[in-house]
Amino acid sequence: MPSYTAPIRDMAFILENVLDVVHSDVPGYDELETDFISAIFSESAKLCEQILTPLNTTGDTQGCQLVNGVVRTPEGFKDAFEVVKAGGWPGLDCDPEYGGQGMPFVLASAVTEMFSSSNMAFSMYQGLTHGAYSAIYAHGTEQQKQTYLPKMVSCEWTGTMNLTEPHCGTDLGLMRTKARRETDGSYSISGQKIFISAGEHDLAENIIHLVLAKIEGAPEGIKGVSLFIVPKFLVNENGSLGQRNALSAGKLEEKMGIHGNATCVMNYDGATGFLVGEAHKGMRAMFTMMNEARLGVGVQGYAQAEVAYQNALSYAQDRLQGRSVIGVENPDGPADPLIVHPDIRRNLMDQKSFVEGARAFTLWGAHLIDRHHRLNDKAADGLVSLLTPVIKGFLTDKGFDMCVQAQQVYGGHGYIEEWGMSQFARDARIAMIYEGANGVQALDLVGRKLAQDGGKHAMSFFELVRNFISENVEVYDNFYKDFLDPLEQASKDLKAGAMYFMNNGMKNPNHALAGSYDFMHMFGHVCLGLMWAQMAKASFDALEKCIDDVAFYETKITTGRYYMQRQLPATAVHLKRIESGADPVMALGVTNF
């Protein structure tokens, strides 16, 4: 069975050395002293390593069962959920007014990674609740907040998001679920929703469904969609549970992975719902929390890669197979460990350099969200809006690829479920699909975010890269050559891609969209390149001070060099593809395939 050790040291490094949180002007960041971070992380690590990790296999093997409308989660999930609730983890970054702990999102994101690595399917029960909390928090009435949020913050009640219908996923304008206004101001909701994660289960006494539906007579398409709270049990005025609402889980989907999470078909048969925010503005309400939610999915992508990497590494260190070509390294054993072989080493370095870069990138994104929420920093909001599709799309694509590479280290054992490596790949696969499939992320990036506010945020990203380079040209020997020069090259490729879109996309938007996926990946590489340059700089700084942990910082720099030399050059081929334009992509007529 796979094991997991939370990468606390690396998380602390990013918060302290890279983001330098304690010296930040963000309200609440002053609390993030070393001891405090360390206390939170070790508590969370203990829970994840000891309780959630062992349940990961159980969840995969047993899955969820739907019997007479009731969903039973896998053995041990309920007890574990009680422990998670008792620790106050679900409300870590929620508003204290509703029982949350008010911690910065950047801290909560690191904790989310641990939860995801140890048990992705389990963590989704609280993850979805957090998403629903955010929507009500941002758009609900004061009464709605008082009624639902305290119970959701504690996860006594969990939440869901109901968007997809059988005939529409991305294109929500086609939605058929109906809402009819009742005389008491509530709505009667009817329709079918699919792919509803945590739609029904036995972990909580109530489930608060957030449902998108069209009010009768609403405008056509996406502009006629409204958001509703539709609780499984209606809530009495005194807060106690009332009548069972007219909704039910019709089916559990059999999925490739995340078996421990109940993915439901939800049927609403005139269920009572309550409008959240304005009528017909449901999409806007959903989009408010999009950056956070998509960042959370990005975390899932690299969190699976992290745990897969840890296990691949320990297998490569233990498994004796073959001999090093440059001389026996384990003369007392029958063979050398796998890790002596260059191609295994390449594989592991791919994984390690990706995961650590992805972690820094995501926590930087979370920090920008904190700046927006806590400082009302509009520039930070603009920048993170630009980066969000990259975090979601690039990190989940690469996260999955790295799980597959980790599986490969195990040879045949990687294909056998007992070893657990297959589960990481199968679980990670969904992150490329949900919360907007990665092709849609690419479309969002190129079709919307890149030019948003006159391209201001893209320009500020490039400026940030340029400034980092110019400020650090001469700080350390070889720093320019090893880190800044490759970053500059990659950034130039990215800019050339953006220019290509500007110059050709006006004539024919397909010239931009045909290259959108490549652009998203190119952008991801540049971001990870920037992260590695920053992490290397922070490591050199730390080494200058001659403190402890020399090996940690040197490893960081060596891993960074790998990324710059072996991964970052990928931007060149992405650019080449982009610059081939729409013609090769669209040349074949729809009927000639």
Q: Return the active site residues.
A: 435
HEC readout, 577-588: HHHCCCHHHHCC
What are the residues facing 165 on neighbouring strands?
A: 168
Please pick, from the candidates 246, 433, 496, 543, the single residue that binds a copy of itself as defined by CB under 8 A.
433
- We find the least distance from the C-beta atom of residue 552 to a copy of itself, in angstroms, to be 9
Distances (CA, A) of 480 to 67, 334, 373, 483, 484: 62, 44, 35, 6, 5
User: Three-state SS for 289?
Assistant: coil
Look up tokens 């296990």; give the residue: 311
Q: Which stretch binds a copy of itself (CB under 8 A): 49-57, 429-437, 495-503, 527-535?
A: 429-437
- We find the least distance from the C-beta atom of residue 4 to a copy of itself, in angstroms, to be 16
The string of DSSP letters for 192-211 reads: EEEEEETSS-SSSSEEEEEE
- We find the least distance from the C-beta atom of residue 215 to a copy of itself, in angstroms, to be 19
Q: Strands (DSSP E) along 13-166, which ranges? A: 65-67, 70-72, 157-162
Nearer Cβ to a copy of itself (37/213): 213
Look up tokens 């997991």; give the residue: 4
Look up tokens 């956070």; give the residue: 292
What are the residues facing 228 on neighbouring strands?
A: 211, 275
- We find the least distance from the C-beta atom of residue 321 to a copy of itself, in angstroms, to be 4
Please choose, from the candidates 234, 232, 187, 241, the residue with its C-alpha nearest in 3D space to the C-alpha of residue 208. 232
How many whole angstroms from its chain centre is CA 574? 23
318 binds a copy of itself per the rule CB under 8 A = no
Cβ 531 vs Cβ 361: under 8 Å: yes
- We find the least distance from the C-beta atom of residue 578 to a copy of itself, in angstroms, to be 10
Site string for a copy of itself, 499-528 (x = CB under 8 A): ---------xxx--xx-xx-----------
267 CB-contact burial (10 Å; exposed 0-12 / middle 13-18 / buried 19+): middle
Please choose, from the candidates 78, 276, 86, the residue with its C-alpha nearest in 3D space to the C-alpha of residue 179. 276
Total binding residues for a copy of itself by CB under 8 A?
Answer: 93
- We find the least distance from the C-beta atom of residue 358 to a copy of itself, in angstroms, to be 17
Q: Which stretch binds a copy of itself (CB under 8 A): 237-245, 300-308, 336-344, 449-457?
A: 336-344
- We find the least distance from the C-beta atom of residue 325 to a copy of itself, in angstroms, to be 4
Please choose, from the candidates 295, 158, 273, the residue with its C-alpha nearest in 3D space to the C-alpha of residue 213. 273
Which of positions 387-426 make contact with a copy of itself (CB under 8 A)? Answer: 400, 404, 407-408, 411-412, 414-418, 422, 425-426
250 binds a copy of itself per the rule CB under 8 A = no
**d(C-alpha 414, C-alpha 343), whole Å:** 17
Q: Which stretch binds a copy of itself (CB under 8 A): 107-115, 210-218, 224-232, 320-328?
A: 320-328
Q: Which stretch binds a copy of itself (CB under 8 A): 43-51, 65-73, 271-279, 584-592?
A: 584-592
Which of positions 160-199 make contact with a copy of itself (CB under 8 A)? Answer: 164, 167-171, 174, 194-195
- We find the least distance from the C-beta atom of residue 105 to a copy of itself, in angstroms, to be 27
Cβ 129 vs Cβ 231: under 8 Å: no
429 binds a copy of itself per the rule CB under 8 A = yes
What are the residues facing 210 on neighbouring strands?
A: 161, 229
**Torsion angle (degrees, nearest 10) of CA 387, 388, 390, 392:** 160
128 binds a copy of itself per the rule CB under 8 A = no
Which of positions 539-578 make contact with a copy of itself (CB under 8 A)? Answer: 551, 554-555, 558-559, 561-562, 565-566, 569-570, 572-573, 576-577
- We find the least distance from the C-beta atom of residue 590 to a copy of itself, in angstroms, to be 5
35 CB-contact burial (10 Å; exposed 0-12 / middle 13-18 / buried 19+): exposed
Nearer Cβ to a copy of itself (370/401): 401
Please pick, from the candidates 8, 335, 496, 543, the single residue that binds a copy of itself as defined by CB under 8 A.
335
- We find the least distance from the C-beta atom of residue 245 to a copy of itself, in angstroms, to be 25
49 binds a copy of itself per the rule CB under 8 A = no
Which of positions 148-167 make contact with a copy of itself (CB under 8 A)? Answer: 164, 167
Please pick, from the candidates 35, 184, 237, 254, the single residue that binds a copy of itself as defined by CB under 8 A.
254
Site string for a copy of itself, 55-94 (x = CB under 8 A): ----------------------------------------
Nearer Cβ to a copy of itself (148/553): 553
Q: Which stretch binds a copy of itself (CB under 8 A): 17-25, 37-45, 75-83, 581-589?
A: 581-589
Nearer Cβ to a copy of itself (263/272): 263
Please pick, from the candidates 439, 480, 492, 496, the single residue that binds a copy of itself as defined by CB under 8 A.
439
Look up tokens 């489930």; give the residue: 207
Q: Which stretch binds a copy of itself (CB under 8 A): 103-111, 121-129, 333-341, 456-464?
A: 333-341
Which of positions 338-357 make contact with a copy of itself (CB under 8 A)? Answer: 339-349, 352
Bridging pattern class, strands 206-215 and 178-181:
parallel
Run of H or E residues at 227: strand 225-231
Residue 506 C-beta-side C-alpha neighbours within 13 Å: 4
481 binds a copy of itself per the rule CB under 8 A = no
- Alpha helices, DSSP H only, in 432-569? 438-444, 452-472, 479, 485-505, 509-513, 516-544, 550-562
Nearer Cβ to a copy of itself (242/584): 584
Nearer Cβ to a copy of itself (179/428): 428
Please choose, from the candidates 306, 261, 19, the residue with its C-alpha nearest in 3D space to the C-alpha of residue 124. 261
8 binds a copy of itself per the rule CB under 8 A = no
Nearer Cβ to a copy of itself (171/182): 171
Residue partners of 162: CB distance under 8 A and separation at least 6: 177, 193, 196, 199, 209, 210, 211, 212, 230, 266
